Structure 1
Amino acid sequence: MDLNRRHIFKAGLGLGAVLLVAGCGDGSSPSEGSDGPPQRGGTLRVGAIGKSSKIERDPHQTLSNESDFLIASLVYDALTVPGTDPNVAPRLASTWEADAQQRKWTFTIAEGARFHDGRPVTADDIVWSLRRLREIAGETKVPVASGDDIQPAGANAVVLTCAAPNSQLPLLLRMMTFVVPAGTTDFAAAVGTGPFRLESYDNGNARLVRNENWYREAPLLDAIEVTLFESPESMANAIMAGQIDLASSVGAVAGRTAETRDELEVIRRPNDVAVAIAMRTSDGPFADPRVREALRLAADREAMVAQVLSGYGTVANDILGTADPEYDTSIPQRGRDLDRARQLLADAEFDTGKTYRLLTKQEAVGEVESAKVFASQAADIGLKIEVVVQESNAFYDRTWLTAPLYTVNWGTNDSVVFFASKVMYSRTKWNETGFRDAAFDKSYTEALAAPPGAEYTAACREIQRIQHDHGGYLVWGMADGIDIASRYVHGLPTLGGYGRVQLERAWISR
């Protein structure tokens, strides 16, 4: 994040995303230090992390690079996007409505929506795009049983039919539904409906210009230039030297340095990224819930936030979705208890004579460091952990979804049900911890079937309780998103996760 998984919600995952409704009241930074109202014009130079070896231009494939995800989300529109309250907002779909059973959802295309080449957006375009996305990524991204469950409803609407009641479909579609003209398989021209259109592209770097005919309020900037940086350090050096105007998701170390520079502003986006440890629950050394509880009790969360995040974050409680309005703050915060952790390992007859590998990769800022810090803390309960850093492609080819112990990162954290759907429900293809729990599945399906209100809240709380008590994640903290901008840049997004990439209300005062 999006939505993708080497990011899905990093972007994207990144994914992870993340987009917001235009306007300062919907998650944009105030125009501090500006003279007068927002100004039109200028080019915003944006730095974003990526690897040349992972460049992907197909918006329906996994977008591992932050730079690719940023470009795609400015060029293409999704049906729905993250918002503030509620946490799902309209985009290419102006409205949506479900039948009484909450199985058939009708999404209406925004009035005046056109592609960059002037063609109006039709139901056939959306059906083609959703079916293609469903074929490539499966039910995880488009939660219907098959492509036949996506049908046109006249010229300007589509109907999605779910296999079971699903009250959260608009939320589950956020940032996954980039729409392209029907029949498109070559994306070099990048014909979308978004607020900016592609003018030029060179090996992951792009120049985007304002779409004057966007169906929403036209962007303020004349252009955005996106530059791919291979590391946060190189991007931080560029913003310090004035070579770019905005360093996106640059990390805490650079943020600390930028705070001493009068010409720069540090923008913190709370609940931006979860860097967690996945423990396989179905088999292997961590299948016993007592062992997983011991690892959670070994973590010194305050120390990890201080050391790994340089204080730019908050302690978490082994639950994904910390910014959800339904997040259950009544669940007691798990703290460090070394005696209890040692006892649990003894009760489980866990072999502390072995050395266990914790696999990680250089992806999210601080991810490798978090593994090393936790390995040091785990030694206090007699657990020997070797941290192994893998190249990202090797990690996703050989480790993700199968290894007993590895780090993960997710860049959208405003929905408990979103995470249940993507990584914990027994039927998801992205079940990172091999979690199979009948009570969890029951609560998840009850949440989808429930209308807003007490019934939905109760189901969400049960999802969280099960995850906290015996799920497969050690979620020790939530990292703030750290952007660094020149003082003359205003109107930047402040939402965490996928909300960070919507720049159509950004403007420059120089």
Structure 2
Amino acid sequence: MSVSPRRLRVGAIALAALVTASSTACSAGGSGGNGNGGTAKTLTINTSFVLKTLDPGRIYEATGLTAVHSLYDTLLTFKGSDVSKPVPALAESYEASADAKTFTFKLREGVKFSDGSPLTADDVVFSLNRLKNVKASPAVMVSGLTVAKTDERTVVVTSATADPNIPVVLAMPSTGVVNSKVAKENGATDAADAAKSDTAQQYLDKNSIGSGPYVLKSYDPSAQVVLEANPNYWGTKPEFGRVVLRNMDVQTQKLTMQRAGGSEIALDISGKLLEGLPGSLKTSAMQDTVYFLFLNADPAVSPVTSNAKFNQALRAAIDYEGIAGLYGKGAAPGAGLVAPAYPGALPASEQSKRDVAKAKALLAEAGLTNPTVKFNYPAITYKGVDLGTVATKVQGDAAEAGIKLELTPQPLTTFLDEMRTGKMALGFTPQSLNYPVADSLINNMSPGQATALRSGWTVERADPAVVAAGKKVTETLDLAARATAMQEWQRAMNAASPYIVLASNSSTVVASGDLTGTDYTAAGWQVDLAAVGRE
């Protein structure tokens, strides 16, 4: 299997867009429970906007994914919070070849676009080819795919390499099917030169041309996005006739939810920020983010952090339970690089534990006495937690074992720039996935890959057992067996990689007590707007 490294939001790179969003202010919008013209119930979604476009061929940011998921149907989807197995959407069924290279989708009958015209195999082929050829950020998911139809209801997707995760890819919002006729009339093309010749984004930011449960009513990327129920929707019609996504900073989200009268959701309240919320509110959370240290494996950068015994000493010195406590509700001590929300995560029984005596012994074996290391981290608050607080805790834990860490807080951009140089001795960052395939980590964090090289971790410096464990994952085509192989890879990484996983933390949906169907999903769209109902 070949997975593009850009499918993974590794470390602080993932922070850039999210941190920018955290500085946004509350904007005016519709209020929960109010009708649209007195006839339609309104659902209000409060979130710090991370939004650049609603063009499915270019969508990559969190807020856009939430909206696009409800505007454009995909071949497959996920139900609720379960991201272990895609379920039918536009495709009523599909078959995969034994070599995991060919996937045949049978389209359901009677599906119409929001303008009433029928959805055909041609629309699917056009949409996926456009996504590939526009070459925006999400195109990496389909760059190795070829799409064709065999008849009006059958679409065949062929992968250049064996990839059992193609069904998951085809559940992502960026693979949403557009009305190809209308799209072409407004500048869209699926031609090989679409990256230059496609001019449809401006139209698609103002108009939706999908078959999803909602249609776009208005779009203001700085203030709010309004959706209305699609009168031609082929599936179960959503209970709310109108959805308003409001741009609101997280502190204002908390204040708003504390006095929410009904039919209101907040998407950014998590961890310590959950404290003090009324018991009448509903929460749904999944541990989809891990926080880890990375030590430089290049002796020329740091003879201390590149020492394998020092690595294991620092690993043993850390109070993982105490660090998880800093994150608040929904956090847990670190186990492996795969967050618990995804198949292939290590069980809670394998969470890391502190052993200061072992740490001191390992330092002695390494021939190190009171070693000193510069410790860089981004000076920001992420998901309600000041990363400086966590870094200070790590510093204190290390000191008890005889390790001195010199805290070096940096502005985010400075941290990112220095991290990319590969010259940072010790750093700290979160990690999340763009879509629910944990084995995408292999082609980012294994030795010699993009993220690994930022820590100077080449194949030559790696334990052959780690390399072999990663290779086994990519060669395993059965998904259940692959998840097991991922666990073995993480155990090998814990034993001999430059990464130390500190904790896992949850993303949370906070909803007013009158709502149902507000499950948080790690599939990318956070909450399925059309699944939300009222008791």
Distance in 2 separating the partners of 1:354 and 1:160:
50
Matches within 5 A, 1:347-426: 347=365, 352-359=371-378, 361-366=380-385, 368=387, 369-381=389-401, 382-391=403-412, 399=419, 402=422, 404=424, 405-410=427-432, 415-420=437-442, 423-424=444-445
Query: Does the Cα contact within 8 Å between 2:8 and 2:433 map onto a contact in 1?
Result: no
- SS in structure 2 at match of 1:500: coil
One-letter amino acid of the counterpart of residue 357, structure 1: N
The one of 334, 343, 349 equivalent to 1:316 is 334
Percent identical across equivalent pairs? 19
Query: Does the Cα contact within 8 Å between 1:278 and 1:406 map onto a contact in 2?
Result: yes
2:63 alignment partner in structure 1 = 67
Relative distance call for 1:304 and 1:457 in structure 2 (3 A) is closer
Q: Are 2:77 and 1:81 equivalent residues in the alignment?
A: yes
Relative distance call for 1:6 and 1:462 in structure 2 (3 A) is closer
Query: Does the Cα contact within 8 Å between 1:198 and 1:207 map onto a contact in 2?
Result: yes
Distance in 2 separating the partners of 1:194 and 1:467:
42
Q: Are 2:500 and 1:474 equivalent residues in the alignment?
A: yes
Distance in 2 separating the partners of 1:3 and 1:118:
35
Distance in 2 separating the partners of 1:469 and 1:338:
17
1:43 alignment partner in structure 2 = 42
Q: Are 2:173 and 1:151 equivalent residues in the alignment?
A: no
Higher Rg: 2
Q: Are 2:273 and 1:273 equivalent residues in the alignment?
A: no
Q: Are 2:136 and 1:136 equivalent residues in the alignment?
A: yes
- SS in structure 1 at match of 2:98: coil
Distance in 1 separating the partners of 2:157 and 2:136:
17
* Structure 1 gaps, min length 5: 15-39
Distance in 1 separating the partners of 2:455 and 2:107:
38
Relative contact order, CA 8 A, sep 6+: which one is greater? 1
Distance in 2 separating the partners of 1:250 and 1:305:
17
- Shift of residue 454, structure 1, vs aligned partner: 7.7
Relative distance call for 1:330 and 1:311 in structure 2 (3 A) is closer
- Shift of residue 246, structure 1, vs aligned partner: 1.2
2:21 alignment partner in structure 1 = none
2:107 alignment partner in structure 1 = 109
Relative distance call for 1:104 and 1:411 in structure 2 (3 A) is closer
One-letter amino acid of the counterpart of residue 271, structure 1: Q
One-letter amino acid of the counterpart of residue 87, structure 1: K
1:224 alignment partner in structure 2 = 243
Relative distance call for 1:107 and 1:280 in structure 2 (3 A) is farther
Distance in 2 separating the partners of 1:493 and 1:219:
15
The one of 5, 9, 31 equivalent to 2:9 is 5
- Shift of residue 482, structure 1, vs aligned partner: 2.9
Relative distance call for 1:288 and 1:242 in structure 2 (3 A) is same
Query: 1:413-441 CA distances to partner (integer Å, 9 max, x unpaired)?
Result: 965424335x3356876667676556556
Distance in 2 separating the partners of 1:396 and 1:110:
46
Query: 1:143-188 CA distances to partner (integer Å, 9 max, x unpaired)?
Result: x53x6x3334433443333333222322344425432534533222
Query: 1:374-420 CA distances to partner (integer Å, 9 max, x unpaired)?
Result: 344334342314242434x6666664695632302316796542433
* Number of equivalences: 470
Relative distance call for 1:498 and 1:139 in structure 2 (3 A) is closer
Q: Are 2:216 and 1:198 equivalent residues in the alignment?
A: yes
- Shift of residue 224, structure 1, vs aligned partner: 0.9
- Shift of residue 360, structure 1, vs aligned partner: 5.5
TM-score, normalization by structure 1 = 0.77
Relative distance call for 1:232 and 1:449 in structure 2 (3 A) is same
The one of 464, 484, 506 equivalent to 2:490 is 464
- Shift of residue 267, structure 1, vs aligned partner: 0.7
- Shift of residue 250, structure 1, vs aligned partner: 0.7
Query: 1:474-500 CA distances to partner (integer Å, 9 max, x unpaired)?
Result: 322222333322222222114456363
- SS in structure 2 at match of 1:190: coil
Query: Does the Cα contact within 8 Å between 2:45 and 2:264 map onto a contact in 1?
Result: yes
1:341 alignment partner in structure 2 = 359
Query: Does the Cα contact within 8 Å between 1:314 and 1:477 map onto a contact in 2?
Result: yes
- Shift of residue 48, structure 1, vs aligned partner: 1.0
One-letter amino acid of the counterpart of residue 356, structure 2: L
1:207 alignment partner in structure 2 = 226
- Shift of residue 70, structure 1, vs aligned partner: 1.9
Matches within 5 A, 1:243-322: 245-258=264-277, 261=278, 264-281=280-297, 284-285=301-302, 286-307=305-326, 309-322=327-340
The CA RMSD over aligned residues, in Å, is: 4.0
Q: Is the deviation greater in 281-290 or in 379-388?
A: 281-290
Matches within 5 A, 1:182-193: 182=180, 183=184, 184=188, 185-186=200-201, 187-188=204-205, 189-193=207-211
- Shift of residue 355, structure 1, vs aligned partner: 2.4
- SS in structure 1 at match of 2:275: helix
Distance in 2 separating the partners of 1:213 and 1:11:
39
Distance in 2 separating the partners of 1:176 and 1:434:
35
Distance in 1 separating the partners of 2:430 and 2:8:
13
1:329 alignment partner in structure 2 = 347
Distance in 2 separating the partners of 1:276 and 1:49:
25
Query: Does the Cα contact within 8 Å between 1:3 and 1:12 map onto a contact in 2?
Result: no
Relative distance call for 1:75 and 1:252 in structure 2 (3 A) is same
- SS in structure 2 at match of 1:297: helix
Distance in 2 separating the partners of 1:8 and 1:208:
32
2:35 alignment partner in structure 1 = none
Relative distance call for 1:290 and 1:220 in structure 2 (3 A) is farther
* Structure 2 gaps, min length 5: 1-5, 19-38, 189-199
